[in-house]
Structure 1
């Protein structure tokens, strides 16, 4: 599908330049940006500011340092049962959540209520699943406080300063311990993470279930199983069945405007945060299905028990045709969240490592004008990406890393993000970091073509500069490589890219591209090998490509083609919306625009 090329002054007002300006001149020109256009709407100012992006990068740096501390800490920090874990296994086991925060004035909250860094890490990962996060905060009473604190996240991070050096006041460490029975310091808490109170789906007894066992049957281990004194073997599928049955039997007829009585993943749609009609229709269909229907005059507790017994206390025994795959993704254990937060944190590690490899997590990196240009370009390109989403022409749209960090920062505005995406893009732009790699790879090519058609310039070019090259060298290389902005280029190194899902019925969605993609990647590597032998390509750049490390030239819609682009690896996430394609996932994030199904 062809798109009208956006007006040159839509994204950047930049004077025509015959030769390459200095980075400070580029930054000064870019900083004069007055407005953006997304679809038919004009945005009077940037939806995200550079100070928030910098603070977000500082937060990611603190997360990375925390992970390194956990993975390399001495064994005496750990309970005996956890000392056999290697670094990555320790990180997967290490997590806490907060139930005892309350809303106060921001400065007071930072001093008296701000949670430890590992809890901020969980909250951060939760907010990067914006549709699930919004619906969960609406449906689940215990999470209601999080919604009230949405506007606090980034301001609090800024106010706390360098989180790698942050120290809470003594009063805060004491109140945290009183509330949670764990120390405020994340590493000190590790020796306390021994058991979890888990209710038996059969008799309702509360059991102290170990997190780890030598035989691998602990709550946080793959083969979790605990035998209750009632004789029921408690498993994750049994806990998930209990959670599902509890939501199913909740009375939605007497109070149809109460979010908590509906099933996860049915209330929040791409255009309506509370689609009562749809949620009620899905619940009625299930509640009155022959296999789930209650017997006449049966109490709700009896109804719930009969459902669990009928399906052998295992949610995996439910017929797949009964429930939407998105809904079933929310029922994997007994935890209230519809997102596996531990898995989400682990996936974020890939993105954080990519940012660190680019040098973006280095303190003071963007104090230099040459590097500051990168963030300013990223802001402009993010708004152009939202404009592309509003056009909805491809099965996937794949953001690059520079766009992705701004997108993630925008999501940390909570309700404000969902409101702005609906207002300017036309639907709630969700984020999913579980999209299959091959669909992201093909979606990158589609994004390049759609971007070229809409804005009349390339989405990116692969330059593969070395990480220790000076910025001036990188800009010179990019300028030399650009050539004509009218050339329709095909992307390379797409395996770690984010994507945005558009139309589910697009033919590309049904085509298995693995073989074709493998052949294409092999052809490109052979081509680059010949270029090295001919002296036309640096051998080190070729080696970097073999490691699947790539950086990209990021031209700006409406800007003079030339110096000042941002260079990124491809991002690992996807933009989507509820019901777009069930269990999306590859890279880190994806955006979708088809109708809810």
Structure 2
């Protein structure tokens, strides 16, 4: 895992610090309403300064409105009795089945869009919520989505309709998602798909047509059947109906094989449509060259071993040549995707080919496995819903909207952190991830902003192994504190206040005194009071060990990590104790010398007790003073995020963090903030350990970043 931070000193942090007019707030006198300050309108990212925020508050609110519609749809499907055989009864499996249907509907809609649809009225063109949900998840895989919009004709048309999606974000109060669809909207949908607007209206007629990977004969397959071999079931299997076709059993693997072989057989060209997926829009321009070399090698090998003279006679680049070459490649690989991967040179180019193979998992043109993408996003959607953030009117008041202003400022700081260390892997918290997602839903702008301010495209990786997230989140916390002089997350007892605005104002008031520890943020020694701003974990995919040996290896890695974190905590405790002794000496010296000052002057040591711009010895802290320009440090304090009882997405009762698929017991401790109540323990619905087992601590084998509540990271590449 790239985790170097040596470059952080090369680029100075932006001016996200305490303004010169701020003064410390005595403990217990924090305001009950947010202070009357103006949110920053410009942000420093690396060596550049934005003219305005990269994301608008109204767009974040519009995104939350979308998430609310998605969450309500999930609740509706899970509670609905579907009177059809073979439909799963279990809530999670039923939702996964419905998402698979939504992807099929999205595919039909996307394939039948026309360029002229971009100019139609948004209230007419917007598809049903289930299809909108798939499009939303597709865009949250920004590198794949951008590349597909270059390579795939259907996606080129879809990209032209992005303006309609943007208009949804810009109008959070729109009734288009909450009210029954208009007649023109239903008619437009039917004209493009020949399907009912409500996805549950015509389930009994649902099947689809696939093509035989070998002879391309049409085959009608059911989505579900009693034997579990339907198209949407794990054991999908079909047979070609053509009497002389010897393709054998048709599976998803063979359908994916056909898709890959066809792309390999395409003519070598600079045309984006003829590139292999995963080689065109990457961090390195060499990937396109390597992709063409792979195509050339595979085609030459298949052609040499093909007994078909028609392939030799066909004109390279013609449809006939591509079809014959596609068949030759599949024959050469004995209709095995794993064999073809090896023939492509996986042993020597595993990074490129491993990424490339991720784009070939079924017969659809898209490079993202959309069912999995929607399900992974479901964790994040559920958290926003459980927090109440998606509720209509939740951020209507000025004080509550300030929480979004904080999230926006923290997102810009997160981008700056990435610019300071391009090789590092940083993990966003939920509030930052919300703004990051919103930015990605503006694909063209996101691409331009990344290029201008970070000099590279920032991908949003939603399939990161949990152990990697564990270390990455710990690194993010330390890098954030070092760069911005404020904690990255908030862990501790619930802050007083009925609204998020009131709670936030409490934190802001305390953080106005950066040199003193925020007294009311120091948590009580009661696990039941655990509340936290947690890292965003919807992207974490935990891998279950396939063998006992693999399990032992994984366990050993976690134990090693836990020991490492324990040593770090002990070292930090010793350092803190030493600083306390030195601080006490400084205060005694300050008290002794204060009587010698005249005309009400304060000694420089007395100033040091609360002045962010001086060290304890009275010397000017240049790293802080040089960055004091336009932004209050208060806007970088963590947003208070609490999960209460009665959560709609099944987190469990009590206070704590929500793990993917199960409740995480509030036990252990937090190495990031010193919270006595951590977030270790708990189990997933699959039976795997959620946060490194009970008693885990934050960053020590369990808890925030400790193998459990990890987050969607950013590789920067």
Give secondary structure in 2 for the equivalent of 1:196. strand
SS in 1 for 2:121: helix
Kept after mapping to 2: 8 A contact 1:448/1:459: yes
- Show the 5 A alignment for 1:183-582: 183-192=196-205, 194-229=206-241, 230-231=245-246, 232-252=248-268, 256-270=269-283, 277-288=289-300, 296-297=312-313, 299-320=321-342, 322-323=345-346, 324-392=353-421, 395-465=424-494, 470-471=499-500, 472=502, 475-476=505-506, 497=537, 513-518=557-562, 558-561=631-634, 565-568=638-641
What residue in structure 2 maps to residue 545 of structure 1? none
Superposed displacement of residue 167, structure 1:
2.6
Alignment partners' CA distance in 2, 1:182 and 1:384: 45
Query: Counterpart in 2 of 1:168?
Result: 181
Give the Cα–Cα distance (whole angstroms) in 1 for the partners of residues 203 and 638 of structure 2.
44
Query: Secondary structure at 2:210's aligned position in 1?
Result: strand
Aligned to 1:534: none
Counterpart Cα distance in 2 of 1:379 and 1:42: 15
The answer to whether the Cα contact below 8 Å between 1:70 and 1:91 also exists between their aligned partners in 2 is yes
Within 1, Cα distance between the matches of 2:116 and 2:493? 48
For 1:494 and 1:515, the matched residues in 2 are separated by: 22
Give me the whole-angstrom Cα distance separating, in 1, the residues matched to 2:390 and 2:209. 38
**What's the counterpart of residue 55 of structure 1?**
62
Q: Does 1:29 align with 2:46?
A: no
Kindly name which structure, 1 or 2, has the bigger radius of gyration based on alpha carbons: 2
Structure 1, unmatched stretches of 5+, are: 501-509, 526-555, 574-584
Change (3 A) 1:145 1:572: farther
Look up the match of 1:87: 91
Give the distance between the partners of 1:450 and 1:563, measured in 2 at CA.
14
Q: How far has the Cα of 1:523 moved from its partner? A: 11
Whole-angstrom CA distance in 1 between matches of 2:557 and 2:420: 25
Number of equivalenced pairs: 532
Alignment of 1:103-122 (within 5 A): 103=115, 108-122=120-134
Report the CA distance between 1:373 and its aligned residue.
1.3
8 Å Cα contact 2:253/2:362 also seen in 1:
yes
Question: What's the TM-score, normalizing by structure 1?
Answer: 0.79
Offset of 1:403 from its aligned partner? 0.5
1:209 match: secondary structure: strand
Mapped to 1, the partners of 2:238 and 2:145 lie a distance apart of 30
**What residue in structure 2 maps to residue 589 of structure 1?**
712
1:123 and 2:246 matched: no
Contact 1:440 1:499 in 2 (8 A): no
Q: 1:492 to 1:380 in 2, by over 3 A?
A: closer
Aligned residues: CA RMSD: 3.8
**SS of match in other structure, 2:267:** coil
Q: Which moved more, 1:50-59 or 1:365-374?
A: 365-374
Instruction: Measure, in 2, the Cα distance between the counterparts of 1:571 and 1:74.
Output: 27
**Shift in Å at residue 175 of structure 1?**
3.3
Q: 1:74 aligns with which of 81, 86, 110?
A: 81
Q: Does 1:150 align with 2:162?
A: yes
Q: Secondary structure at the match of 1:591?
A: coil
Q: Deviations over 1:15-54 (max 9, x none)?
A: 414337757654x5243x2311111111110000100000
For residues 453 and 523 of structure 1, the distance between their equivalents in structure 2, rounded to whole angstroms, comes to: 20
In the other structure, the counterpart of 1:540 is: none
Alignment CA distance shift 1:139-1:23 (3 Å): farther
Measure, in 1, the Cα distance between the counterparts of 2:327 and 2:709: 38
8 A Cα contact 1:262 1:283, kept in partner: no
1:454-494 CA distance string (max 9 Å, x none): 2233222312538996543565478669985699x9x9997
Change (3 A) 1:8 1:336: closer
Q: CA deviation at 1:191?
A: 3.8
- Cα deviations across residues 377-405 of structure 1 (Å, max 9, x unaligned)? 11111011111111226642011111000
Aligned CA distance change for structure 1 residues 213 and 177 (closer, same or farther; 3 Å): same
Closer, same or farther: CA 284–203 of 1 in aligned 2, 3 Å: closer
| Deviation for aligned residue 1:291 | 9.2
**Distance across 1 between alignment mates of 2:358 and 2:234:** 17
Deviation at 1:71, TM superposition (A): 1.5
Bigger mean CA deviation after superposition, 420-429 or 457-466: 457-466
Secondary structure in 1 aligned to 2:201? Answer: helix
1:302 to partner: Cα distance: 2.2
Q: Is the 8 A contact 1:331 1:338 kept in 2?
A: yes
Listed as ranges, the gaps of 5+ residues in structure 2 are 1-5, 315-320, 347-352, 523-530, 541-553, 570-626, 643-656, 661-707
Deviates more, 1:209-218 or 1:386-395: 386-395
SS in 1 for 2:282: coil
Q: Distance in 1 between matches of 2:403 and 2:396?
A: 11
Give distance in 1, aligned partners of 2:304 and 2:356: 16
Distance 1:122 1:188 in 2: 19
SS of equivalent to 1:240: helix
CA deviation after TM superposition for structure 1 residue 189, in Å: 4.3
Q: Secondary structure of the equivalent of 1:352?
A: helix
CA distance, structure 2, for counterparts of residue 279 and residue 210 of structure 1: 36
1:515 deviates by 1.5
> Are the aligned partners of 2:376 and 2:538 in contact in 1 as well (CA < 8 Å)?
no
> How far, CA to CA, are the matches of 2:149 and 2:431 in structure 1?
29
Are 1:18 and 2:30 an aligned pair? no
Distance 1:483 1:148 in 2: 49
Distance in 1 of aligned mates of 2:189 and 2:121: 13
The question of 1:3 aligning with 2:42 is answered no
CA distance in 2, matches of 1:306, 1:7: 56
